[in-house]
Amino acid sequence: MVKSFKIEDAAAKLVGKSTLLKTLNYIDTGGLKTPVLLMDGDRIKHNISTVGRGIDGCKVFYAVKANPSVEVLRLLSGLDVGFEISNQGELNVLSDLGVSPERIISSNPVKSTDFIKSAYSYGVRYFSYDSPAEIEKLSQHAPNSNLYVRLAIPNEGSEWPLSKKFGVEVENALTLLTEAKANNLNPIGITFHVGSQCNNIYNWNIALDKAHLLSDMARDAGITISLINIGGGYPIKYTKSVLNVEAIEKHINKLIKERFSDGSIAIHLEPGRAVVGDAGIMVARVTGKADRLDGRWLYIDAGVFNGLMESIGGIKYTYVTETRSTTGIKDNWTLAGPSCDSFDVIDKNVQLYEPEVGDIILILSGGAYTISYASEFNGCTIPKTVIV
């Protein structure tokens, strides 16, 4: 089997040779049930030990939403890392694993009352917010908690923007900090998100400029900002090269030093994609082929509804098929998932060697925001996660 895959250098550079080799060896052991998400445990460990290293005093909280599988969370829970959660389901998995509350923060600006109560009773004391309604809930059900207000910032150049739903402008944020203080809460911080898969380094400039301005205004209003939570956003390689984490962090560190020069500011980072994305390879099978008026179609058993949801929002994966071609010529394919819904089209104009029905197809860099979005719509299978 390993021999039937011709991994081109460009693909190998995306996810690393050892991740690919482990995947192919796993497939070789036989009994493969697809779709399945293979996660390279060593790669996750490497990623988590790398992120945050370039920013002075940075504490890392893995954004659970990127890959909430118990297998991944168990692995991470044994390492020196915190967790960012949004909802009860994410808290449940962590509490089942015995993760202590000091390692958990919640940066969802709008949380349900039940979740607030449950997280607070578990011992979680760090929450984000961006509205008076959230202050009301938090002051009632999570008194004296540490709060960080979410700023609106541009997400230009991020492939998965997160700016439309949350965040307030600086003046409004100041009002919210003051209101939180007057309501039994401890407003200590500022947060933002530059957008996921962010390939525009200047988003961090604008975000930290706004945070700096707000911090000065808060000081004048008698509130000390001692925490900046810089969210996530680090990009990974899907098909093309991206900003590297080291360069991003060097840049962020400089920006923080220039703006918060007294050195007393704590920094929280919430990476998701950069921890698990390139550690995962989705292994699927070809279920059918068809020549249609608009070209060649390839149907596989992983699709928009059971793992590859981000493909409809701009993420372009790299696919590798078994090599059967004798001509060495690739065809142009439209790739579609297993449901009967015509929304379930993963990609167009994908250059691939023609596979046979039943062949395996690898979807590289598939570790983030895949199983977390997957549903059983139309009887489709949610990929199981296996650590290799």
Ligand X SMILES: Cc1ncc(COP(=O)(O)O)c(C=O)c1O
Chain residues binding ligand X by CB under 6 A are 63, 65-66, 84, 107, 162, 193, 196, 231-234, 270-274
Q: Which is nearer to ligand X, 129 or 234 (CB)?
A: 234
Smallest distance from ligand X to CB 207, Å = 13
Quote the CA–CA distance of 174 and 182 in Å, as a whole number.
13
Closer Cβ to ligand X, 228 or 298, answer by number: 228
Write down the least CB distance from residue 386 to ligand X, Å.
22
Smallest separation (angstroms) from ligand X to the CB of 291 = 38
CB of 387 to ligand X, least distance (A): 20
- Nearer of residues 77 and 107 to ligand X, judged by Cβ: 107
Q: Which of 310, 265, 309, 301 is nearest to 283 (CA)?
A: 301
| Contacts of residue 197, Cβ cutoff 8 Å, sequence gap at least 6 | 158, 159, 160, 233, 235, 236, 242, 273, 315
Pick between residue 127 and residue 234 the one whose CB is nearest to ligand X: 234
CB of 232 to ligand X, least distance (A): 2
63 or 228: whose CB is closer to ligand X? 63
CB of 198 to ligand X, least distance (A): 7
Angle between helices 132-141 and 170-181 (to 10 degrees): 20
Q: Give the CA distances from residue 107 to residues 58, 166, 190, 194, 292, in Å, rounded to whole numbers and listed in that order.
A: 16, 11, 11, 14, 46
For ligand X, the closer CB: 240 or 324:
240
Q: In the bound complex, which residue of the shown chain has the CB atom lying closest to ligand X?
A: 232
d(CA 278, CA 19): 9
Q: Residue 196 CB, nearest distance to ligand X (Å)?
A: 3
| Residue (118 or 229) nearer to ligand X, CB | 229
Element (H, E) at 250: helix 245-259
* Residue/partner pairs of 160-163 with CB below 8 Å, 24 or more apart: 160/195, 160/196, 160/197, 160/310, 160/313, 160/314, 160/315, 160/369, 161/195, 161/196, 162/193, 162/195, 162/196, 163/193, 163/195
Tokens of 316: 């372009």
Q: Which single residue is written with the structure tokens 């979410």?
A: 150
